[in-house]
Structure 1
Amino acid sequence: MALQINATNPEHPALLLELPWHLPLEEWPEEYLVPLPRGISRHVVRYARAGDEVIAVKELAQRPALREYELLRDLDRIGIPAVDPLAVVTGRSDTAGEPLESVLVTRHLGGSMPYRSMFETTLRPATMHRLMDALAVLLVRLHLAGFAWGDCSLSNTLFRRDAGAYAAYLVDAETGDLHPELSTGQRDYDLDLARVNISGELLDLEASGALHPSVDPIEFGTEICARYRGLWEELTRTSVYPAGKYQYIERRIRRLNDLGFDVAEMQIEHASNGDAVTFVPKVVDAGHHQRQLLRLTGLDAEENQARRLLNDLESWMATQDDYAPGDPLGARPEVLAHRWVREVFRPTVRSVPPELRGPMDAAEIYHELLEHRWYLSERAQHDIGLGTAVEDYIRNILPKARETLQPTAE
């Protein structure tokens, strides 16, 4: 069987052909590989370079490789945070003509870290709580979309910094299934697997001395269940309000927006006696602040980053002479937003030397600068200004943090 490359982009096959597909992945020469931290996997996984892109290459049998490739494409189409599928390579053989396993090729998620690399510095319990929050949000989003993961774990997740919190991405869809809707039993099965897997992974870290002494692996495994159920209840519960109190529905929608979700479709029913109104969110989409920031500025950020940038944008707009909400002669929000990007956001981010940024993207850098400005202003008891905060951050913070910001190879 001849080598075949099925790719999502017509440019990728030509770039991928330059890689040594005649060698088992474990034997790939260092010249092709990129030294990035890897998590635990049941398969051989390597990071390599294809043109200007860093890719993750996973070796597995042909049928599961093709199946996972299609599942990841489905998740991409419905906007679920997951690694980006690029290609499946089948028909591999070595120089003697012996068959080799197929490979799944995905794009490396920039700025992401597997959980084991994060635990190399013994994460504080507060940071671990944020990881559980991120994983619970990911699992809820998957279940709302009808995806049963089948193997939710820290090992099958990548984490990116998101304005002081974390965003979780699915990295292994091999055991998953996509359905029109999940039953309660399917969701509970996924959740129980997550509890068992996470407790086991933390017990393993405890045995190696990499777990904070105050962390109980069993309690943290159970925590994912509580956080998941609380979020699921808020997103899907039926509410009954007094007739005419439509502000209660508006308040519920705003609360969902604050959690980062939009209500794309809802069901409102009046009681037969006219005394009550029943409200049910039928379709809930994640990414409320992401979409708002993208619409106003063209910037694509994580949800918490987008929330922080929108707050700064709103504060900045209020200082502009031509900002007059409701006044047809005033500048439109979109015009002011693009001015903010041009005059504030981009110059501020560009002032940070690239060699000091590590894996942080532009939105995370800006968030860090806003945090530092707040800290210095609190200490000085007055607003020290963004320019002063940037100078102090570059001089006193980034050089010390550089080693922890840059990922190291295993």
Structure 2
Amino acid sequence: MALQITSAGADPALLDLPWRLPLEEWPEEILAALPRGISRHVVRFVRLSGRVVAIKEIKAEIASREYHMLRNLQRLELPTVVPYAVVAGREDADGDPLDACLITEHLQFSLPYRALYSQSLRKGTAVRLIDALAVLLVRLHLAGFWWGDVSLSNTLFRRDAGAFAAYLVDAETGELHESLSAGQREHDLDIARVNIAGELMDLEAGGLLQEDRDPVAVSERIMVRYHELWSILTSTEEITFDERWRVEDRLRRLNKLGFDVDEFAMTTDIGGTTLTIQPKVVDAGHHSRRLLRLTGLDVRENQARRLLNDLDAYRAAHDRQGDDEEIVAHDWLERVYQPLVRRIPSSLRAKLEPAEVFHEVLEHRWYMAERAKHDFTIQEALDDYLAQILPGKPDEQSVVGIDTVEMPVTVLDD
């Protein structure tokens, strides 16, 4: 057997995997019991050199194309799984050819949508997942990527301060262009709407969908949220020449949504009385970049927004509005954030990421204060959260034992 391995990292342990066996026959001792989404292909999670990778068995030309597509999307800093390798030239023990394998890195603390529905969920989870998928689709379209198979099944979700962040998993049908036409974007949206409706109907049939609305009506939200966000990010605005402050106002509104504008197009009419403005290059991650610059913390956008809000509250509480922002941020990191994170017991650290725990502790403090009608310190809230809440959550760093099984859902009120 002459294996052909194309890899983003040189790992000799790849050679030790049982490539002569069809993927569905690989031995249990090398597999990791992580939640898998629905796929047309055989997919397994495998332990490799101290980490976990996802392996998908597909035709060689498709595996190679998807690997390089994911590499291109990574270079564009888009939220996707990270491609690791393609293994082709496989044969079984009788010399018969086997399909190639695409290997991607396991995205820690992520779950497929069906695994999320096997946990205790708050009402409105379907809406939050669709909102996250709409943001992902807008970002991909802004970069010129036509997905071709938009669905909840082809997406992984990570918790992001009460919301979700979505990551593209399957780029098998995707195409990367300089830009997309309105027709291409609408085609992706139609695919998304139909696929999401079918996926929600499947959950409903299994008794897993806790929404009290028609799955088709819920699926229509992808259209509404996408068009709202696309318009805000790309629409042309005409203002009079003496309203030039509205240029900066547009920037602030986009920043509030979590986007930076790297390039603006501005033109005046012949008489110079009106100004037309339009964002040309828009990039997500405004709050996460600001938090990274101030503190070195690399977290997702909503988590960064929540941490920055707490940083602002810390600054106001200590009357340090006039101090250098970076110095205040360093003090907040040393006195508030890091002490809280250090107090998370090692046995509970696989439950949620530190930034998500910080967000949940702030939420928990608010609920405690509302019930007791008086304030609590963050240390008191943390003590109660670690005792009452976090131990009951599933391990999401690498969730073991859930394979998109249809388990009963406990619905929690918002």
- Structures share a fold, TM > 0.5? yes
Amino acid at match of 1:7: S
Which range is displaced more, 296-305 or 351-360?
351-360
Distance (whole Å) between structure 2 residues aligned to residue 123 and residue 395 of structure 1: 20
List alignment gaps of at least 5 residues for structure 1.
Answer: none
Deviations 1:26-78 (A, max 9, x none): 00111000001111001100011111211101110110101000110111111
Indicate the residue corresponding to 1:391 in structure 2: 383
Q: Deviations over 1:73-122 (max 9, x none)?
A: 11111111000111111112222322211111111111111111122358
The CA distance in 2 between the partners of 1:228 and 1:301, in whole Å, is 24
Q: 1:177 aligns with which of 152, 156, 175?
A: 175
Q: Secondary structure at the match of 1:348?
A: helix
Query: Counterpart in 1 of 2:315?
Result: 317
How far does residue 279 in structure 1 lie from its aligned partner after superposition?
0.8
- Identity of counterpart residues, as a percentage? 55
The offset of 1:124, in angstroms, is 5.2
Hey, what does 1:376 align to over in structure 2?
368
* Matching of residue 17 in structure 1 with residue 15 in structure 2: yes
201-210 or 19-28, larger mean C-alpha shift = 201-210
Residues 88, 337 of structure 1: alpha-carbon distance in 2 compared, 3 angstrom cutoff: same
Q: Distance in 1 between matches of 2:396 and 2:281?
A: 40
What is the correspondence of 1:18-57 to structure 2 with a 5 Å cutoff?
18-57=16-55
TM-score of the two chains, using structure 1 as the length reference: 0.93
- 1:351 maps to 343
SS at match of 2:17: coil
Matched residue SS, 2:389: helix
Does the CA contact (< 8 Å) of 1:357 and 1:398 recur in 2? Answer: no
SS at 2:224 equivalent: helix
Q: Distance in 2 between matches of 1:245 and 1:49?
A: 59
1:150-195 CA-partner distances (Å, limit 9, x unpaired): 0000110011100000000000000000000000111011110001
Whole-Å separation in 2 of the counterparts to 1:56 and 1:338: 38
Which amino acid in structure 1 is aligned with residue 387 of structure 2? R
Deviations 1:250-293 (A, max 9, x none): 12111111111111100111222222211100111011111111
Equivalent position of 2:401 in the other structure: 408
CA distance, structure 2, for counterparts of residue 122 and residue 383 of structure 1: 28
Counterpart residue number, 2:212: 214
For residues 202-228 of structure 1, the C-alpha deviation after alignment (integer angstroms, 9 at most, x for no partner) is 122222222226131111221111111
**Alpha-carbon shift at residue 320 of structure 1 (Å):** 4.8
2: CA distance between counterparts of 1:85 and 1:43?
A: 17
Q: 2:326 aligns with which of 328, 334, 338?
A: 334
Of residues 156, 159, 163, the one that matches 1:158 is: 156
Instruction: Give the CA deviation at 1:399.
Output: 2.8
Q: Which runs of 5+ in 2 are unaligned?
A: 404-414
Q: Tell me whether 1:7 sits opposite 2:7 in the alignment.
A: yes
CA 1:339–1:8 in 2, change beyond 3 Å: closer, same or farther? farther
Number of corresponding residues: 402
CA contact (8 A) 1:123 1:211 kept: no
Tell me which amino acid in the other structure corresponds to 2:25.
E
Is the 8 Å Cα contact of residues 110 and 359 (structure 1) preserved in structure 2? no
RMSD across aligned positions (CA): 1.9
Give 1:408's aligned amino acid: G
Alignment correspondent of 2:96? 98
